[in-house]
Structure 1
């Protein structure tokens, strides 16, 4: 497949799975001292953690919040401080907004924990607890942390079986990437000259829809996009749908699928250019169906990564090219 090193990909996800003993040790160390959890990030790192705040909000009495780090530092929740667990992720370890928030969170008395692959970065060296892996996504690590916290509170009795099954993810995500590749190629070739498109998601894949629109289509491909939550689609966005409006729907498998169905029914009626990436289309052989919704963010991210590779090729626009981001002062 185009720009896909199966051995490297599998190794990266396996390095995330291998963090399980360390993460479980942290959860045991924290005990019942955590009064709330805040997932603080910027851009993609904020979006990638949205599903895990939602997981706490819907499955636990432990308060969980995802917030934009820079804004949170200026206008924090009054509940943040001693007893708060502040969670961060960073691919480069050098994002100023995130690193400033780490230092600020520590000054407020919060415990800071983060995931990265850059051991010597300012991000890694400033955290109270840092977990290192070569994985380019943080879904497995965040799932282990959050479901571990739930388990410690008696709110997820299936933790051991679920955590065991996460060991299947490296191989299963290879299968997802291979199956998604042809659809990704078709979409990229058809839309290489598109000027504007919608990206829609809901529930625990809404964060990835947000991320993909902002951090890939806009930042890496300079495409004009509208990202909209399925529940909000009918409060303005529907008026922009025409026969030739390109719409990209990201489906997960949690309780919010009916929201996506409603959007799909509408856009199928009024547009001739609708593409669906649905986590339910991937078999995940051997993985317990009861846990499929939990891994939907990882599945949709893996599928969409194939779309990125093909867009880069057909648009002749490398994913690492920027005009302004980290290029000019702002």
Structure 2
């Protein structure tokens, strides 16, 4: 079922129940980070619909009281982690409408969700059909059908440009990515800064790509929160990565950049404004920051993995021991 059709059918159901009160996002780890931009879009643009994002296990153990028949839950997991499947079941039990985003029609996510959205994944991933892109599309459709979102057409037209933007950026940024890998491959700790639509991307780079895939210590920080304690760790030796957004929160990243230029020495800036995001209509470009930046920041870490001879697929615990 197409996303437009899914949301149209959901709209009819929730109108019978009294209208849509809240849209919840539920996921773990990289899946939660991937759908975070959709939550950012919703909280930025929705006028009458509340929103929140939850870790799957926390959603199960500390369920929001508002969860019910006037709630839609977008719940995401590539391979259907047990806690995320439980989150789908719980939301169903409480009368909410569930949209299960997952990597295959055969997963328990797909089997338990009232609606399912299968997203592109793996080595040959199509970025315009990846989880972050389709989560955004679900929200654009909700905003359009429930509130008459004025920038809907501009948003939908952006999907034709995403894959070319990412492919071109990888080619143009390869020298910079290799330089990053060479300079930082032996460091064991990183701070990753990001704001607004790129805060979830900073989490992805820190927790998924540095920690999970390269076994390096990393901390994701909101660029604004950096100045409320964490900046005291800044010196000439500690590595920083600043993911510089395009949009309303860019001044927050620029403030961090100014401080790093003055007090740090070993940092890199990956700027969304320099990787082709300007090809997307300015009315919605902000919301596509993460869609193009996640594959790009991963591309940088991948260059590091080559020099370290440490595959991005190598694990010690994940899927190997009981946890």
**TM-score (ref. length: structure 1):** 0.89
Quick one: structure 1 residues 292 and 304, their matched pair in 2 at CA, closer, same or farther if it must change by over 3 Å? same
Secondary structure at the aligned position of 2:2 is classed as helix
Give, in whole Å, the separation in 1 of the partners of 2:217 and 2:267.
17
Give, in whole Å, the separation in 1 of the partners of 2:175 and 2:41.
32
Question: Within the alignment, does 1:238 sit opposite 2:228 as a pair?
Answer: no
Deviations 1:2-53 (A, max 9, x none): xxxxxxxxxxxxxxxxxxx700011111224432111000111111112211
Deviation at 1:142, TM superposition (A): 1.4
Tell me which residue corresponds to 1:55: 41
Question: Within the alignment, does 1:206 sit opposite 2:199 as a pair?
Answer: yes
Secondary structure at the aligned position of 2:243 is classed as strand
- Give 1:78's match in structure 2, choosing from 46, 65, 68: 65
- Give 2:179's match in structure 1, choosing from 183, 186, 189: 186
Tell me which residue corresponds to 1:38: 24
Matches within 5 A, 1:250-265: 250-265=243-258
Q: RMSD of the TM alignment (CA)?
A: 1.6
Tell me which residue corresponds to 2:7: 27
Matches within 5 A, 1:123-272: 123-135=109-121, 136=125, 137-272=130-265
Give, in whole Å, the separation in 2 of the partners of 1:123 and 1:154.
29
Give, in whole Å, the separation in 1 of the partners of 2:315 and 2:201.
21
Structure 2 gaps of 5+ residues are none
Aligned residues: 309
Structure 1 gaps of 5+ residues are 1-20
Quick one: structure 1 residues 75 and 132, their matched pair in 2 at CA, closer, same or farther if it must change by over 3 Å? same
Deviation at 1:286, TM superposition (A): 4.8
Deviation at 1:68, TM superposition (A): 0.8
- Give 1:112's match in structure 2, choosing from 91, 98, 119: 98
Deviation at 1:217, TM superposition (A): 0.3
